[in-house]
Amino acid sequence: MICPNCQSKDLGKIGVNQYYCWGCYIELSINKGMIYTHQVEEDGTLSSLDDLFDEEDRKLSM
């Protein structure tokens, strides 16, 4: 699995189906074969980045 944002493979597992990208500092979560991307804002809230990617790019490829 690679980060759809920066193509980094340097992902750390932070929970069940949840990963953190050390390349671009976003959170990734996996659901039903799709990668969902979130940016952590300064106040700790998550904002979705999914609009930035095509569905093709967010499909989980093993």
**Chain residues that interact with Zn ion, rule: CB under 5 A:** 3, 5-6, 8, 21, 23-24
Question: Could you tell me if 21 and 31 are in contact, meaning their C-beta atoms sit under 8 angstroms apart?
Answer: no
Q: Distance between CA 49 and CA 40 in Å, rounded?
A: 10
Q: How far is the CB of 40 from Zn ion (least distance, A)?
A: 13
Q: Which residue, judged by CB position, is nearest to Zn ion in the bound state? A: 3
CA–CA–CA angle 28, 21, 45 (5° rounding) = 55
Q: How far is the CB of 11 from Zn ion (least distance, A)?
A: 8
Complex with Zn ion: residue 7 or 33, whichever CB lies closer: 7
